[in-house]
Homo-oligomer: A and B are copies of this chain.
């Protein structure tokens, strides 16, 4: 069953007249067409039985077709009101529209108000949870893309390690990684590549800069690529020169926390149990206050997607789910360390997509 058919079945089941999907990632998920429309309107309107349509900027119509969308596509020019185009396309289908499901976590208040205006007396209900339910389980085709994305991320870490040398800047290493990725055909990193060194490793959201690598630094890489529309997201922290005992202790604590959580992954386990298991390792080692973020997040078409792997989320794992596990300790006077893998819940356990070694890599200084 295609994603489109699945939504049509949902509409019938729920007695909804239409679904209007507007997140670029979900438009891609159901139509195969990926675009960043900025402030312009992009969406897919799906009905129980009538022909669905994509609404997009006029100049993108050929791209929608090229992406494999075989149904109707209606375009709007910058000089016209895109909502009139939507209304006309709906009217052409001669349906009664009383209730439309929308993405409440994405649709803006402004667009809500426009929809309420053009579709008189319409009820706008929530489609988000259904889309989350669908996207959270990856099918075999999606897993193929995710495996390849992870393989490329592994290679990127390898390149990064190779590039480390005394006096090189974080940005130089970052660019070498991205250049190599482009050569491998990667058109987009899944987020801004992070290469942090020395004390900067202690900032979970630090920005790579001109800092030069020095002996004794830890270097933290956090990066990912988009492959056929699917993301990877890996973190590795390596040492440049022999680490101190204090650095080593932090590293091994994070590694144990990470591996403890990874080993627990299987259907039936909750997100909160995973977070707790990793956090307990870190807390018991005395570093609890330095692990300041959640354990991980869902991964797929979006680099951060449903579900959130936190200490309070009772979400239960099922086969086919993909997410990150990424504990960290950020202690400015010693070092920051984060280790992150992408994992798939299998029938009876876990498949780890990212395979770069987790034993502390010591780069000769």
A58 neighbours in B (Cβ, 8 Å): 292
Assembly stoichiometry (copies): 2
> CB-defined interface of A114-153 with B at 8 Å, one 1/0 digit per residue?
0000000000100010000000000000000000000000
Say whether B59 contacts A293, CB under 8 Å.
Answer: yes
- Which of A100-108, A261-269, A344-352 is near enough to bind chain B? A100-108
How far is the CB of A334 from the nearest CB of chain B, in Å?
17
Say whether B182 contacts A59, CB under 8 Å.
Answer: no
> CB-defined interface of A173-195 with B at 8 Å, one 1/0 digit per residue?
01100110011010110001000
Say whether B205 contacts A312, CB under 8 Å.
Answer: no
Task: Determine the distance from Cα of A102 to Cα of B171 in the docked complex, in whole angstroms.
Answer: 38
Task: Determine the distance from Cα of A304 to Cα of B174 in the docked complex, in whole angstroms.
Answer: 27
Say whether A79 contacts B113, CB under 8 Å.
Answer: no
> CB-defined interface of A236-254 with B at 8 Å, one 1/0 digit per residue?
0000000000000000000
In this assembly, does A63 line the interface, its C-beta being within 8 Å of a C-beta of chain B? Answer: yes
The interface on chain A, measured as residues whose beta carbon lies within 8 A of the other chain's beta carbons, has a size of 49
Given contacts A109-B104, A205-B35, contact A210 B185 (CB under 8 A): yes
> Which of B110, B188, B210 contacts A128, CB < 8 Å?
B110
> Which of B107, B188, B207 contacts A187, CB < 8 Å?
B207
A110 neighbours in B (Cβ, 8 Å): 104-105, 128
> CB-defined interface of A158-179 with B at 8 Å, one 1/0 digit per residue?
0000000000000110110011
Say whether B108 contacts A78, CB under 8 Å.
Answer: no
> Which of B109, B210, B294, B308 contacts A107, CB < 8 Å?
B109
Say whether B188 contacts A310, CB under 8 Å.
Answer: no
Given contacts A112-B109, A205-B63, contact A294 B182 (CB under 8 A): no
Give 13 CB contacts A-B under 8 Å. Answer: A39-B105, A59-B293, A63-B205, A78-B293, A78-B310, A79-B311, A104-B108, A107-B108, A109-B112, A112-B112, A175-B178, A175-B179, A188-B192
